[in-house]
């Protein structure tokens, strides 16, 4: 059932050219160089260390690796991370 709804919303948003982060409630990642990252629509932090941050999102678990990672701001809708980011991975 959930799969069907997901497919339907995807098709509608594709057809009507609507932004998918809003329609399908998906995370939106903005990366500035390798030092600054904004993540909107998150579902909470799973793990936080200096070299790795794991954040739960609707697309799966987002793994950010790097050095000296700091959470600049954390609010309900967004997380801003800065530090030396070396990798972003989405693991289902």
In terms of CB distance, is 19 or 44 closer to another protein? 44
b/e string for 26-44 if b means 16 or more Cβ within 10 A? bbebeeeeeeebbbbbbee
Task: By CB under 8 A, name the one of 6, 12, 44, 87 that touches another protein.
Answer: 44
Q: Which two tokens stand for residue 57?
A: 């999102």
Q: How many residues does the chain have?
A: 92
Over the window 12 to 31, marking each residue x when it contacts another protein by CB under 8 A and - when it does not, the resulting string is: --------------------
Contact call for residue 75 and another protein (CB under 8 A): yes
Contact call for residue 46 and another protein (CB under 8 A): yes
Contacting residues for 87 by C-beta, under 8 A, at least 6 apart: 63, 64, 65, 66
Closest approach of another protein to the CB of residue 33, in Å: 18
In the complex, the residues that contact another protein under the rule CB under 8 A are 44-50, 69-76
């Amino acid at each position: 059932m959930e799969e069907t709804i997901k497919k339907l919303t995807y098709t509608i948003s594709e057809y009507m050219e609507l932004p998918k982060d809003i329609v399908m409630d998906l995370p939106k990642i903005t990366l500035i160089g390798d030092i600054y990252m904004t993540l909107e629509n998150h579902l909470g932090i799973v793990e936080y260390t200096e070299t790795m941050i794991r954040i739960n999102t609707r697309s799966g678990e987002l793994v950010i690796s790097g050095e000296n990672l700091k959470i600049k701001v954390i609010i309900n809708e967004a997380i801003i991370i800065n530090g030396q980011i070396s990798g972003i991975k989405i693991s289902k």
